[in-house]
Structure 1
């Protein structure tokens, strides 16, 4: 099975490294800049709580050099999806599925969310038929070109067909990631899985953008923790109104995650001068809340403040 990971930020590098280490697929990556050169020169190094490992994967900037694949896993940030759509064609055979393992509400969620695919190129050039949804649970950071550090002890990627079916193609992709340290799981309800992960992003993203600190150093203040729990309850109500109720133990999961000395990806992006995933992570969830008639006053306030602060810092 030939699999290409399109994008080698922290998550893409981690997934590529774990899949290559599992040895069940021929893994390639589409990368650029220093990350491309680092992977070519030294391979991918993944530093984990259980130890570090290094794997060799083929790395190319131009997808055409890789040719058609059995599956493509897209791990770029939402603002980069138009570029993916414009360049992914050489990787696609007649039936190649494309898995979007991205943060927030994905472009394929539904009608009226044009901000997630503003040119329509993702829908036109990749399409819903090829698309598989994905959710990743992993706290990791690129330390230097070709090296990613993983801070979470439990890491997994959930894959799901948009219609909830347990198709052979989604099961094959999940199986290719089944190995030490990271599991590939097939979900019959990927939309609820997306909202469960989004819950985490909504709690820690706006608040850490305001504090400019990692989660552990932010949520050790009781008043901030209480605000985070209020946001969590607001987000759970939105998800419930949309028909995607989140399990009651989500609060425990949130408490565990905010105890890690890890900066949310959107704060990492701000500090590195990269484009921010505001729309997928914050704007669209609030838009969906209004459509469902659900009020989320604290979340709305924190997002507004975080937006002003982030864009002032980037100016």
Structure 2
């Protein structure tokens, strides 16, 4: 199975490694020093189950050609550049799995509810990715893996349990998702298929939406912020509001806010969106913060704590020049 990982940074590089270990013919589209190191020396992943080295093909979409599947693992602000470049990877039967943070561009496609077909222009400006890929090719995806690029070509995986969850936008059974999941499992990474991929998206998004703004505002990571009792109370309420949005949209998401905040207060992990702020990288403000709150309004859910926290976090991102609000 020919699989290209488009955006092989920390997460994408880890996924590419597991696919290669699982027997896939893997290629990657990446950039910068990390790309150069992978091309010259291969890709090393240091994980709890050992250190693994693979040698994926590294190149441009034109050089790599048509694939059986493409797994897109870029940050949301990079989607327009993916739309411009992805064409040569796509054949008539190519599947494209978007394994990304936040609300995906296809969220209301094949949704089946009152909001079916609603567009999300802040995530897909000009419908560029919709036109380039099309919903019929698309799989949704969520990844649970805390990774960092230790040095170019070398990825460190923090947690012992890592998994990717895939699903069809219409909730149908999915042989193509099963095929990718099976390769991941053979490579030592959890691969799962769900018939409620939106619910899975909300399960992960709730944590990012509830805790990410406080990480940005405190500059000390979600765990440090949660150790302050006043902030801790606000974070609990924010996560409860996330649960309410997800349920109003038809998903059985009911995270135990008290337990989740208590758990994160013991963690030193720094949220990826705070890392982006510190490193001057474009921030996933639209997909992780603004659009979910827009959806809360669509569903008639009030979110006073999130509204304030997100507004202040967006100010920080905008002031840093790492996010430009939609016109």
Global fold match (TM > 0.5): yes
Consecutive unaligned residues in structure 2, runs of 5 or more: 109-117, 323-327
- Distance change >3 Å, CA 220–CA 275, structure 1 → 2: same
- Per the alignment, residue 81 of structure 1 pairs with 79
Counterparts of residues 103-182 of structure 1 (less than 5 Å) = 103-110=101-108, 111-179=118-186, 181-182=188-189
- TM-score if structure 2 supplies the norm length? 0.90
Q: Secondary structure at the match of 1:114?
A: coil
**Matched residue count:** 313
* Whole-Å separation in 2 of the counterparts to 1:154 and 1:63: 31
Shift of 1:250: 7.0
Correspondence 1:43 to 2:10: no
Q: Secondary structure at the match of 2:135?
A: coil
Shift of 1:271: 1.6
Contact 1:78 1:103 in 2 (8 A): yes
- TM-score if structure 1 supplies the norm length? 0.94
259-268 or 100-109, larger mean C-alpha shift? 259-268
Shift of 1:140: 1.5
- Per the alignment, residue 300 of structure 2 pairs with 293
* Whole-Å separation in 2 of the counterparts to 1:254 and 1:180: 32
* Whole-Å separation in 2 of the counterparts to 1:28 and 1:239: 35
* Whole-Å separation in 1 of the counterparts to 2:193 and 2:258: 23
Q: Which string of whole-angstrom CA distances, capped at 9 and with x for unpartnered residues, describes residues 20-79 of structure 1?
A: 223x2111100111111011122112222344322221111x111111111000000111
Correspondence 1:236 to 2:253: no
Q: Which string of whole-angstrom CA distances, capped at 9 and with x for unpartnered residues, describes residues 209-250 of structure 1?
A: 111123333323333222211111001001111111214557
Consecutive unaligned residues in structure 1, runs of 5 or more: none
* Whole-Å separation in 2 of the counterparts to 1:170 and 1:260: 33
Give the ranges of 4+ consecutive aligned residues of structure 1 lying more than 6 Å apart after TM superposition.
Answer: none
Q: CA RMSD in A?
A: 1.8
76-85 or 260-269, larger mean C-alpha shift? 260-269
- Per the alignment, residue 20 of structure 2 pairs with 20
Shift of 1:308: 1.3
